[in-house]
Amino acid sequence: MPLGIHLGERFTLDETWAAADIAEEYGFDSLWVAEGRLTRDAIGIMALLADRTKNVRIGSGVVNNKTRNAALMAVTFKTLDEIAPGRIILGLGAWWEPLATKVGEPLRKPVASMREYITVLQSFFRNEEVTFDGEFVHMDGVRFDRMYAENVAVDIPIYAGAVGPRMLELAGEIMDGVYLDFLLPVSYVDFANEAIGKGLAKRTDGKNAIDITQTIAVAVDDDDPRQAIDACKNFLTMYLMQQPHIAEHAGVDPELVQRIQEVAGWPATPEDIKRAMVLLPDEAVHRVSAAGSSAQVAAKLEEYHAAGVRVPVLNPLGERKLDTIASLARIFK
């Protein structure tokens, strides 16, 4: 079973480089660099990882289609492909609310705007001259324009950072893969596959499948599995306070979410989250994450893989992130 690693702001730069070294040593499939809130840019980290590694694929997990013009996004990923030819993945999603609205780029018709954006990106990647007059994207006779080297097509797969059925369907219709979110149960994969299948039925390029990857919250502690479970419980509690709509996937009653919010509120301090997390049963944690001993976590990852996730992408939590990655690397090498 191939594995990936999700690299977000919880990783220091030194931890990021160490995780990349483990991925190279053990033959991981991919490294995915997060970019969501205003914490850290993905592109700079991706470039450094692309230069540091030789074999592992490097993906954005994910960047949004609001803050970078489609032409700039195309040439940015073309540049990354120069550093690591054939190893770059463009993971693309709608932006995070309420931040999008706060910075003047509110989400509107996310599926329609994504379709236009990807259509233009794919034209650029085919090294075509692009003219496009859509509702959201406008191009007038532009193309890759290097003067001192040949302009050529680039093979950069586009993956959807999708959760809802309409975006999943769009991925099946026009994209190369999906990068499914964390804190979703194994049963969600069936839902995603059904929506993707509707899109595949509308494809015109002859493909009958796309790649399915999913980032999964994980924590391993063979000395004290309770610590690993609590690391994932802390994370799930924070997300229930911040994005209560995920409660349905976690099997958490709305009344419990309300009690958690009453204890902690939002924004919450780390101490608030610790007080609130005791209300959350372990069952909810195990439903949407992989936590405990290395054997327990490996078994959970196998469940996701058996359900159709080709590459489970480790999103390590807690104080032993690198140990978690290394433990699972040794199991699945």
Evaluated on CA atoms 282, 288, 294, 295, the torsion sign reads positive
In this predicted structure, what is the pLDDT of residue 248? 83
Q: Are 190 and 208 in contact (CB under 8 A)?
A: no
Average pLDDT over residues 292-301: 98
- Residue 41 one-letter amino acid: D
Rounded Cα gap, residues 54 and 70, in angstroms: 28
pLDDT of residue 229: 98
The pTM of the full predicted model, rounded to 2 decimals, is 0.95
pLDDT at 230: 97
Lowest mean per-residue pLDDT among 72-81, 240-249, 267-276, 298-307: 240-249
Domain boundaries, the chain: 4-219+293-332, 223-288
222-279 per-position pLDDT tens digit: 999 999 999 999 999 998 988 887 888 888 899 999 999 888 877 888 999 999 999 9
- Answer whether CATH 3.20.20.30 is correct for domain 4-219+293-332: yes
DSSP at 177: E
Per cent of the chain over pLDDT 70 is: 100
* Burial tier of 261 (Cβ tally within 10 Å: 0-12, 13-18, 19+): middle
pLDDT per residue as tens digits for the range 28-62: 999 999 998 888 999 999 999 999 999 999 999 99
* Structure tokens, 328: 């699972």
Neighbours of 287 (CB within 10 A): 18
pLDDT tens-place string over residues 4-32: 999 999 999 999 999 999 999 999 999 99
pLDDT tens profile 170-222? 999 999 999 999 999 999 999 999 999 999 999 999 999 999 999 999 999 99
Task: Give the ranges where the chain is alpha helix by DSSP (H).
Answer: 13-26, 42-52, 70-83, 99-102, 110-125, 165-174, 187-200, 225-242, 247-250, 254-264, 270-277, 282-288, 294-307, 321-332
Q: What is the model's pLDDT at position 267?
A: 81
Are 329 and 3 within 8 A, CB to CB? yes
